[in-house]
Amino acid sequence: MKNLIAEANQAVEQFAGQVKARYYPAYHIAAKSGWINDPNGLIYFNNQYHVFFQHHPYNEQWGKIHWGHVVSDDLVHWRNLPIALAPSQEYDKDGCFSGCAIDDNGILTLIYTGHVVLKEAGDKSVFKQVQCLATSKDGIHFEKQGVIVTPPEGIMHFRDPKVWRQDDQWYMVVGVNDHDNTGQVWLYHSQDLYHWQFVQVLAKMADPNVYMLECPDFFPLGDKYVLTCSPQGMKANGYHYRNRYQSGYIVGDWQPGSPFTITQDFTELDFGHDYYAPQTLISHDQRRIVIAWMDMWDSVMPSQADKWAGVLTLPRTLMLSSNNKLLINPITELKSLRGIQKKITSINLSNVIQDLQLDSMQCELILKIDLTNSDAERAGIALSASPDGKQSTLLYVDNQAQRVILDRTYSGEGMVGYRSVALPADKFLTLHIFIDHSSVEVFVNEGQATLTSRIYPTSEKRTLFLFAENGALRVEQLDYWQIKNMRG
């Protein structure tokens, strides 16, 4: 029998030599080459952090999905490991789809969706999806143990298991498209990981357009439970749900044996262009940390010309506010990547553009704007800007719309459109920004909102501009750091 994992690893190495630096991330998780999408199997195990991801190693397009694998001692510096899973069995021969990792009495165990195409018909293909299990003795090489959960007759979309241990039982949530073509999350339980019983429909969307709830995750936070998921089928509504697919969270009360009682309806997790399939883990010090795919289905991906596609977001901590809203912030460990620093205070602009002459290929910024003394119609910062200013990603306050705008109309190859969040009703607006070679992540006012988007600037030199149009901008303080490459 062919060694499919060895072949896949060889393909990754073969194409890695064709990957260019222009868009490849300096401090985000990406494959050495090939395609990646959803993060899988996030776990702190044997004093290391493991992240797996959906991976097509043979080219830069989505294809027959494997599981890629990286590991870290600190959630910041990630090392590539061999591919963990390859489609090889009758029950997963067309893809090892998303899932999770657990510690089963010291055994690193992966639970994933096996995907088999029964009939090819484009978007109307007929397929079967089952939940499968694989184990590892060394945390690197995995042995498949077979199918552990099959769907009821007539259910085709049945994927993305997330498993956890509670009250001496294992629990699993799975995303489902039910017989009525509605998106749901189903709950199962088990004593031994191999024999599962259906418990209940944990949640479903009131929106009749939602036909699938992908990548569910269910966990306690504070005194509540949070369900994160990625609905498919939502229609755009004003400033909301502008991407093809969304990701968000629902807050409620739950305990084993009881229904999930919702206290906070579905809310978007991120308001940028490129955020999908979030998954969480518990850190060594018990923080709840989330990582997502920093792309979107059917989006423009110029990196594919360089034999790779797909990046994961920075790890972010989750906390629940007193009004059941998630506060989302970058992990503190990222400070270890900070290099050269510059601090600027008391900047006043009026109807001008100011070149800060700071390199923005890979950097971190904290920009504090005094809203009470800023009355410009549009005012903010141009990120990853070409020296002539013709190409940039604009992050600014629109005082007329009372919104914070992330506009990538001039961000580079194939980029269009903007995303936004409501302007916080505070005296100051703080924007915590991470820029990598082809991405921008913005954290608004200590995690009240985030905007995550890919960008593809063509300029080899990239700088930062402050600007104010038809009025004044006052920047109380700007902190800037160059960011070091996580790979050394």
Rounded Cα distance, 158 and 124, in Å: 16
Please report, as a single letter, which amino acid is at residue 53.
F
Across 331-375, the runs of DSSP E, i.e. the strands, are 338-350, 353-355, 363-370
Q: What share of the chain is helix, strand, coil (3-state, %, to 5)?
A: 5, 55, 40
- Measured between its terminal Cα atoms, the distance across the chain in Å is 38
For residue 37, say whether it is annotated as part of any ligand binding site. Answer: yes
Alpha-carbon distance of 388 to 2, in angstroms, equals 54
CA distance linking residue 399 with residue 419, whole number of Å? 15
Rounded Cα distance between 442 and 447, Å, is 9
297 is in an annotated binding site: yes
**Catalytic residue from among 38, 178, 274, 407:** 38
- Residues 475, 368 contacting (CB under 8 angstroms): yes
Within 10 angstroms of residue 46's Cβ, the number of other Cβ atoms is 11
Q: Is 270 a catalytic residue?
A: no
**What secondary structure does DSSP assign to 144-199, as a single string?**
EEEEEE-PPTT---EEEEEEEEETTEEEEEEEEE-TTS-EEEEEEEESSSSSEEEE
Half-sphere CA count of 117, side-chain side, radius 13 A: 13
Is 214 marked as binding a ligand?
Answer: yes
Whole-angstrom Cα distance, residue 406 to residue 444? 12
> Could you give the dihedral angle defined by the CA atoms of residues 239, 240, 245 and 249, in that order, rounded to the nearest 10 degrees?
150
* 38 labelled ligand-binding: yes
| Residue 159 assigned as binding residue | yes
Question: Which structure tokens are listed for 289?
Answer: 């940390």
Q: Is 98 annotated as a binding residue?
A: yes
Tell me if 67 is assigned to a ligand binding site: no
Please say whether the beta carbons of 241 and 262 come within 8 A: no
Alpha-carbon gap, residue 111 to 103, rounded angstroms: 11
Contacts of 286 (CB under 8 A, 6+ apart): none
d(CA 270, CA 406): 12
Report CA Rg, the chain. Answer: 22
Residue-wise burial string across 267-292, b where 16 or more C-beta atoms lie within 10 A, e elsewhere: ebbbbbbbbbbbbbbeeeeebbbbbb
Specify binding-site residues: 37-38, 62, 98, 159-160, 214, 297
Question: Annotated binding site for beta-D-fructose, which residues?
Answer: 37-38, 62, 98, 159-160, 214, 297
For the annotated catalytic residues, the residue numbers are: 38
